[in-house]
Every structure is written in C-alpha cells, then in structure tokens.
C-alpha cells in the first residue's frame, strides 16, 4: 500500500516543476510554458506515486511508459527527468532548445534517457501509447503475466484530441479493452488562436464513453482527487480517460487561462510575479530546494528495487520458458539461427509480389515468434494474415492484428509496438493509402524504429480501380524520407530477399512495394542472383558485346526491360539490364560497386518505372530518358493501361534508339 499523500511535500515539488519549466522557456526565449505549469500536478503524481520506473535504467523492459503526446510541453518532461534522476542536469535545462542539447524543443527519442518516443505532431502520442499498450498485452499473454503487467500513461491536450489519429487509435483501444492504457487529458479550454470555443465544443468525455473507455472528470489542481482518479483508472479493465479541468499557465497573474501562456515565454516581469505567487524569490532561476531534490531522488531508490525484483523473476522464469529466452535474444539485437532460411520460387511461376510476400511472411512467422501485425482492413488483398495464428481481440492478444480502416492510427500503433522490447511489427495497406500514414512513417524513420510496411497495389497495374487508387507520386515521396528503406522487388525471389532485408533492418523502417498483378519468376541460372537485392541494385542481365546502353528498372517493369534487351541485342545493340529495387541500399554501397553496375562511361541510360519519374535523374543523368508517369492513371484493365502509358518493350526500345 502506498504511503499517504503529503500535500505540503507535493506542493513544494509541483511548484518547483512549474518554475523550472517556465525558467527553461524564459532562458531560451522560445517554447511553451503554460502547459507544463498546468500539468505539473499530474506529472508529479505519475513519476513519484504511480509509475513503475527506474531512472538508473530507463530501458528496463518491465517499466511503465510515459508518453507526452502534447510534445510542445517538453519542458515538463525535462523537469521530471532532471528531478527524478534520469541524468539530465540543470545545465541541460538551461540549454533548453539550443543546438546540440538533449533538451530539444519537442521530445526526441534517443536524445536523453527517459524519453520513450518522439512527439511533436499532435495526436501521435495517443496512438503510439495505444501501440505500447498492445505490445504490453501481447508480451503478457504470450510470455508471462506478472513480468509484463505494465501500463502506458499518456498526457494529452485539446490539440491531441482534435487530431483524427487520436480518434482512430482511441476507437481501437476501446474495442480491444486495453485496460493498461491511461490517458490524462488537460482540459484547459485554450488553443494557440484563443478559446477552444472557436472550433472545439464537443463533449470529449461522452465521445470516449462511446468508444468503450472508462472516463472520469476531476479538477486538475486537486492533487488528492487526481491521485484517487489514477488509482481508479489502474483498477479498470478498460482504457481510461481522466479529464482534468486544468488552467494553462497556472500561477501567472495575467496570463493564466490565456492563450498568451501557450507558445511564448511569460516575460521577465510576469515570471517574477509568478514566482512571488508560489512564494519563491523572483530574482533566482533554476532553483531546486534541497528538500524537493531529496524527495524526488527517492524515486531512483524505489525504482532500482522494483527492477531488481523483476530481473530476479525473469531469470527464474527463463529457465523453463523457451519463449522468454528467444525474446531476450531479440531484445539484445539478435535473431534466431536459421531465421533467413526461406523457400525459393521456381523459374517461370507467375506470382504477384504481394502473393509471394504473404508466403514469405508466413515462413518468417514460423521462425520469428515475435513478428506480428496486420492490415488496415485489407488483409486478403495485402496477404498479411498469419496462418493458424490467433487474432488480437478484446479477450486475448494474437499475432494477427485487425486495425480496421484506420491507416493513420495503424502507422502510429506500429511505432508503439516497435518501441516494445523484442517485437517486430508490420502493417499493410494499398500503397496509395500510405499517404494517410505518412506522419508516423516519418517519425519511425526519425527514431530509427524497425517497423515494416507492406504496401501493395503499387502502380497503374492495379487496373480497374482507377486513378484514385493508382499510386503515382507515392514512390518518390517515400524515397525522399531519410532513413526509410524502400524496396520494390521484381519477382517472387526478389521478394524473399526484400523481406530478409526488412527483418534484418532494425535501425529504421522498411517499405515493401508490391504488385497486384502476377509477374513471372525469373530464371536465376540465366540472370543475376536474387540475393543481389541486398546491395540495392545489380546487373540482372549483362550486355552482349560492347556496352552501348543500360536499361534500369524496378518491380513489374523489370520484365519489360528484359524483353526490350532481347530486341536490342538481336539488332546488335549491347544492352545491360539493371534491377534497382532499392535506392537506399544501392547508395549504401561503395562507389566502385555502383560504378561497376552503372558504368559512368555509358551515359545512354533509360529508366523504366510505372510511377513518377521524379528523382531518376540521379541515375540517368542529363543524357538519359525516363519512362514513367507524369500524370494520373485511368480506370481499365492493367494490360490496356500499361500499353496506353508507354510501358511496353517496344517503347523502351524506341527510347534507347533515340539515345544511340
């Protein structure tokens, strides 16, 4: 049983949190002081009374998670990480928002211990929190109930709950009865432009009740009521929303409850008056009273004991639980022996790469018990279902996740799953709908999370669904994201290699770009080996005689390139075909290899890809030509569309001839 709440002790600590946060913003002359000031009571209670965490080992897998969804309130998080012993110094707080400082404008995963995820775009943290809660549920059900009986706490704002991604995630969390997810909502009635009455008058509590959440309303400054509300939320089998009626900029005499406290420093005079309100010296900054420092650092002692007990239980359970041992291996960055011994496909077999992907995925699932995921209601089309595996339901977690038609939330939930120790998550949708989940894909790349996206129906080759469903610019968009590996395999065996690359890549996300239409499996005794995909690009078919031209292609257009090569070489034109499924992997090779594949002396190059030609100039130069899409597609059978838009061997031959 926890010790009784000492209100005097709590007030001293809460006031310190408020003023440290305000001092950071004032020192930087940039930031958001108001939200940290109003949220200080919640942060204090979570970090000192409710969360299981160990500041001396921030990555302890059995810890509770804290997600600051309203990332603009980063000063609050940094204050807590300093006071509870996570390693942030007062100098780090003084350097808030400065170049090279761990105390960035919004929390950045990896910049400082104790930051669980990168938050900035509002709403993302709510959905990531749902993913973390799903990950905990999965580990609890699959491995051990007591070891993984941890919770995820999310602090969110009006802005978070206006964003659609939060609504999507909350809907799914309510459906799944994620009782280990607790969201605390700062209901301060203020946004940047002014009062929320300008644009946001819905009954948030009623909305979350309709999602199936446990909902409570409290006064945000009543520490006792807040404490009891968190206790009730922890006891609920449903996800919980605590609506805390709070006051932005609490304690600032002229800026409390005003949008003036949101996105700008309080100002020297206002901050001085605020310090007087809290009984502090207005002439001093970054002050932590000795009694507050002593009280807050006790968290580290209790956390170390909690982890020691957890580690002892883990060691005992791992002696008899083989799955726990495999999970530990994944947590340490390893993969089980033989995971990449996958079946190969026979030459001539015609198979859509989405179908090949589904078969490879199931072969991998047999070898990787912590590989899990699903689709945004497109499982039969994306081929993402894991055979003979349970679905993730309200009653029991399984490896097949049904995200519903919620692409944006799916992307963010995948990030939460990827933050969960030992898990390898994947999610599928039509490639065109990657537009709906670009924000979490970008964040995954920024954080270096090993999420895997299965993006099918990759071109106008999907046919009759028409231009609304035919991706054109999406491939170029995805390739533009730093640290996102984009792979568009040419046949079934390149698809095998693409999955190997995705699983092995634990330093960033991977997007697999897959066809709807069937493609012939290439004869690898005649052409370059499929495992060359691991180098991003390779000589698929060498030229006969002197090299006069190079055709570069990816995905479904590789077969057309080979047909064009056959015609050209019969006419005496030495032509090389290069399969270039992954620009990122190719650019990671040394210059000598890249020059070997694409000899600089041969400037007659034609790129072929049923997508925007944007970006291909890096490989074809000023002298080359690109056959691609410079407008939207059309509705009709795939074959007719490919012919109409110039994706034929004859057109490739004609373009090469123009260069000769």
The string of pLDDT tens digits covering residues 503-545 is: 999 999 999 999 999 999 999 999 999 999 999 999 999 999 9
Find the mean pLDDT for residues 312-319: 94
Q: State the pLDDT confidence band at 256, using cuts at 50, 70 and 90.
A: very high
- The CATH number of 7-306, from 3.40.50.970, 3.40.50.150, 3.40.920.10, 3.30.830.10, is 3.40.50.970
Q: Encode 273-339 in three state secondary structure.
A: HHHHHCCCCCCCCCCCCHHHHHHHHHHHHHHHHHHHHHHHHHHHHHCCCHHHHHHHHHHCCCCCCCC
**Number of neighbours of residue 546 by Cβ within 10 angstroms:** 9
pLDDT at 334 over 80: yes
Angle at 357 between CA 354 and CA 360, to 5 degrees: 160
Comparing C-alpha atoms, which of 627, 494, 628, 649 is closest to residue 567? 649
Using a 10 angstrom Cβ sphere, with 0-12 exposed, 13-18 middle and 19 or more buried, the burial of residue 472 is: buried
Whether the predicted pLDDT of 1 surpasses 70: no
| Residue-level pLDDT at 3 | 83
Phi–psi pair at 374, nearest 5 degrees = 180, -145
Q: With 90 as the cut, is the pLDDT of residue 322 above it?
A: no
Neighbours of 560 (CB within 10 A): 22
Q: Which residue of the set 38, 307, 407, 497 is catalytic?
A: 407
Write out pLDDT tens, residues 341-387.
Answer: 999 999 999 999 999 999 999 999 999 999 999 999 999 999 999 99
Tokens at 562, concatenated: 């080979």
Q: What is the DSSP letter of 73?
A: G
C-alpha closest to that of 549 among 657, 459, 412:
657
Query: What pLDDT does residue 210 have?
Result: 98
CATH code: domain 531-659 is 3.40.50.920
Does the active-site annotation cover 407?
Answer: yes
Q: Whole-angstrom Cα distance, residue 388 to residue 7?
A: 54
Measured at the CA of 243, the angle between CA 237 and CA 246, to 5 degrees, comes to 150
* Cβ atoms 530, 497 nearer than 8 A: yes
- Whole-Å CA distances, 448 to 200, 332, 432: 35, 16, 23
Which CATH fold would you assign to the domain 350-520?
Rossmann fold (3.40.50)
- Partners of residue 184 on adjacent β-strands: 155, 242
pLDDT at residue 325, rounded to an integer: 87
Cα(427)–Cα(438) distance, integer angstroms: 13
The tens digit of pLDDT for each residue in 64-74 reads 999 999 999 99
- For 605-619, what is the mean pLDDT? 98
Cβ atoms of 177 and 129 within 8 Å: the answer is no
- For residue 388, the model assigns a pLDDT of 95
Task: Give the model's confidence band at 438: pLDDT under 50 very low, under 70 low, under 90 confident, else very high.
Answer: very high
What local confidence, expressed as pLDDT, does residue 613 receive?
98
Average pLDDT, the chain: 97
- Contact assessment for residue 296 and residue 20, using Cβ atoms and an 8 Å cutoff: no
Every domain of the chain and the residues it spans: 7-306, 350-520, 531-659
Q: What is the mean pLDDT of residues 589-604?
A: 98
For residue 279, what pLDDT band results from cuts at 50, 70 and 90?
very high
What pLDDT is stored for residue 525 in this prediction? 96
Confidence of residue 248 (pLDDT cuts 50, 70, 90): very high
Would you call 471 exposed, middle or buried from its count of C-beta atoms within 10 A (0-12, 13-18, 19+)?
buried
Q: Which phi and psi (to 5°) does residue 14 adopt?
A: -65, -45
CA 302 – CA 285 distance, rounded (Å)? 29
């Amino acid at each position: 049983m926890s010790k009784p709440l000492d209100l005097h002790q709590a007030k001293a600590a809460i006031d310190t949190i408020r003023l440290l946060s305000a001092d950071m913003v004032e020192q930087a002359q940039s930031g958001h002081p108001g939200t940290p000031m109003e949220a200080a009571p919640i942060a204090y209670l979570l970090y000192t009374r409710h969360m299981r965490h160990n500041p001396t080992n921030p990555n302890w897998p059995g810890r509770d998670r804290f997600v600051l969804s309203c990332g603009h309130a980063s000063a609050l998080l940094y204050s807590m990480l300093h006071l509870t012993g996570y390693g942030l110094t007062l100098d780090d707080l003084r350097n808030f928002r400065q170049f090279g400082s761990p105390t960035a404008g919004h929390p950045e995963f990896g910049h400082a211990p104790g930051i669980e995820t990168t938050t900035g775009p509002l709403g993302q943290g709510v959905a990531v929190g749902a993913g973390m809660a799903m990950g905990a549920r999965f580990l609890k059900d699959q491995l051990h109930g007591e070891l993984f009986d941890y919770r995820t706490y999310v602090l969110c704002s009006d802005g978070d709950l206006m964003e659609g991604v939060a609504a999507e995630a909350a809907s799914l969390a309510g459906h799944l009865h994620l009782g280990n997810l607790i969201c605390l909502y700062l209901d301060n009635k203020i946004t940047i432009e002014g009062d929320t009455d300008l644009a946001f008058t819905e009954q948030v509590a009623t909305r979350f009740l309709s999602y199936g959440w446990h909902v409570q309303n409290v006064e945000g400054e009543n520490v006792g009521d807040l404490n009891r509300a968190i206790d009730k939320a922890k006891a609920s089998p449903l996800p919980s929303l605590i609506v805390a009626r709070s006051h932005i900029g609490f304690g600032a005499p002229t800026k409390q409850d005003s949008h003036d406290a949101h996105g700008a420093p309080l100002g020297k005079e206002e901050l001085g008056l605020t310090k007087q309100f809290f009984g502090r010296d207005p002439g001093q900054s970054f002050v932590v009273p000795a009694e507050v420092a002593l009280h807050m650092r006790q968290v580290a002692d209790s956390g170390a004991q909690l982890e020691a007990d957890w580690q002892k239980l883990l060691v005992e359970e791992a002696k008899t639980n083989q799955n726990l041992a495999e999970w530990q291996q994944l947590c340490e960055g390893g993969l089980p022996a033989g995971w990449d011994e996958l079946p190969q496909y026979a030459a001539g077999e015609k198979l859509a790469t989405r179908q090949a992907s589904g078969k490879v995925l199931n072969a991998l699932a047999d070898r990787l018990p912590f590989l899990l995921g699903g689709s945004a209601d497109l499982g039969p089309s994306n081929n993402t279902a894991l055979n003979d595996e349970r679905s993730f339901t309200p009653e029991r977690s399984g490896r097949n996740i049904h995200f519903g038609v919620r692409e944006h939330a799916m992307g963010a939930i995948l990030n939460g799953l990827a933050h969960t120790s030992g898990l390898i998550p994947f999610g599928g949708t039509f490639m065109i709908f990657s537009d709906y989940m670009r924000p979490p894909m970008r964040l995954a790349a920024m954080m270096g999370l090993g999420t895997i996206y299965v993006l099918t129906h990759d071109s106008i080759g999907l046919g009759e669904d028409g231009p609304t469903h035919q991706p054109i610019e999406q491939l170029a968009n995805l390739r533009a994201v730093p640290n996102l590996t984009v792979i568009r395999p040419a046949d079934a065996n390149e698809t095998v290699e693409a999955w190997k690359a995705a699983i092995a890549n634990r330093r960033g996300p991977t997007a697999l770009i897959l066809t709807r239409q069937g493609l012939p499996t290439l004869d690898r005794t005649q052409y370059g080996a499929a495992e060359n995909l691991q180098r991003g690009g390779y000589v698929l078919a060498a030229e006969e005689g002197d090299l006069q031209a190079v055709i570069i292609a990816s995905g479904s257009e590789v077969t057309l390139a080979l047909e064009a090569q056959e015609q050209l070489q019969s006419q005496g034109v030495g032509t090389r075909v290069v399969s270039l499924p992954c620009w990122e992997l190719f650019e990671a090779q040394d210059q000598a290899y890249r020059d070997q594949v694409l000899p600089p002396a041969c400037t007659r190059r034609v790129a072929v890809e049923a997508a925007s030609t944007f970006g291909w100039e890096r490989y074809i130069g000023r002298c080359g030509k690109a056959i691609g899409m410079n407008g939207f597609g059309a509705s009709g059978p795939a074959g007719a569309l490919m012919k109409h838009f110039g994706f034929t061997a004859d057109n490739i031959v004609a373009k090469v001839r123009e260069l000769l």
